[in-house]
Amino acid sequence: MKISRTKFIILFVVSAFAFQFISNSLLGSEVRLFPVNGDWFPGTGSPIAWKRILSAILYPIKIVLVGPLSQIFKIPDPDPVPPLLPTVFALYWTAMALALYYLIKILRYFTSRNFK
């Protein structure tokens, strides 16, 4: 299956935003794409068992998707610039998608060759 680079990046970024929204909505106290109170990994200290278990399962994925940038936006700002947070995350996820796309392309190239 071949997919264009642009289509792969768009699919990856849209999926990352959807994953972030759904996981924060299920595990957090409010339905939001990005947390206001700085709780980037909601549900980790929850007394509700299913939230704690689900957050433990999703934690490695969230570390990769939001971990590096969560340290930059750790200080809760009551009035942040509206498009700053989604724009920065979209740029980060685009770079991650490009790296993943080329890694898959290289792996596909080496696995398609007939090494004897």
SS3 of 84, please?
helix
Q: Provide the CA 74 distance to its chain's centre, in angstroms.
A: 16
Q: Which residues of 4-36 are buried (b: 16+ CB within 10 A; e: fewer)?
A: eeeebbeebbeebbeebeebbeebbeeeeebbe
> How do residues 58-96 score in pLDDT, each as one tens digit?
888 888 888 777 766 665 666 666 677 788 888 989 999
Name residue 112's amino acid.
S
Q: Which residues fall within 8 angstroms of residue 34, CB to CB, at 6 or more apart?
A: 20, 24, 73, 85, 86, 89
Q: Provide the CA 93 distance to its chain's centre, in angstroms.
A: 7
- Structure pTM? 0.75
> How do residues 18-32 score in pLDDT, each as one tens digit?
988 888 888 777 776
Quote the tokens at residue 76.
């809760």
Distance CA 40, CA 34 (A): 8
In the predicted model, is pLDDT for residue 52 greater than 70? yes
How do the domains of the chain map onto residue ranges? 5-112
Name residue 116's amino acid.
K
Q: Which one has a higher pLDDT value, 87 or 43?
A: 87
Distance CA 10, CA 7 (A): 5
